[in-house]
Amino acid sequence: MKSVNGIIKNIIDPKLKSINARLFVTRNDGITIYDSTEDETTSSVSALVSGVWQASEALMGLVGKNNNLFDYRLGFDTSSEGIYLFSFEFDGKSYCCGAIYKDCLNPGLLKRQVMMLKSDLETIDVPFKKNKDTSKRDGFLFTDITDEEMDNLFTLGGK
């Protein structure tokens, strides 16, 4: 069985040649699922994207509670650079996908390409469910953790 990250990576990676932008997918709690430019800013990008998207959702909730939030797109751009976001549902959970682009000659085309990516991401739900097997993952991941293990974890952190 492939992980969510692996499945999404397999869908987005081939598109990177034609979409000249940083592409990413984040969970709505800000955890990174995919980033085409993995670097020290990856976690921050995910946290901020999640915050922006959730704040926008909440804003729309104030004025139109019956709207389908998966139909929305969010853009913050000039005529050549910006960020473009949309959300999609996968395995019953909602994710935010987006593109950050610079020096783009045709942002309209880029947005169109990104929206086509949304269609691809939304159609992976069924095969993923068929392969899913979590039967061996009932209960808790750790039944006990010693103080020594925690000390080691925090020693690595530089404390």
Partner 1 sequence: MSFVNYHTKEINCKIVYYGPGLGGKTTNIQYIYQKTSSNNKGQMITLNTENERTLFFDFLPLDLGEIRGFKTRFHLYTVPGQVFYEASRKLILRGVDGLVFVADSQVERMEANLESLNGLQKNLLDQGYDISKVPMVMQWNKRDLPNIVPVEDLQYQLNKLKLPAFEAVATNGTGVFETLKMISKSVLLNIKGGLE
Q: Contact residues for partner 1 (CB under 8 A)?
A: 2-3, 5-6, 27-32, 40-44, 47-48, 51, 54-55, 58, 134, 136-142, 144-145, 149-154, 156-159
- Token pair 């913050």 is found at 76
* Cβ closest to partner 1, residue 64 vs residue 139: 139
- Residue closer to partner 1 (CB basis): 28 or 113: 28
| Nearest CB to partner 1, comparing residues 74 and 113 | 74
Query: What is the number of residues in the chain?
Result: 159
3-state secondary structure 106-124: CHHHHHHHHHHHHHHHHCC
Q: Which residues lie below 8 Å from residue 56, measured CB to CB, with a gap of 6+?
A: 72, 74
**Minimal distance in Å, beta carbon 80 to partner 1?**
25
CB of 140 to partner 1, least distance (A): 6
Q: What is the CA radius of gyration of the chain?
A: 18
Distance CA 20, CA 140 (A): 42
For residues 5 and 37, which CB has a smaller minimum distance to partner 1 in the complex?
Answer: 5
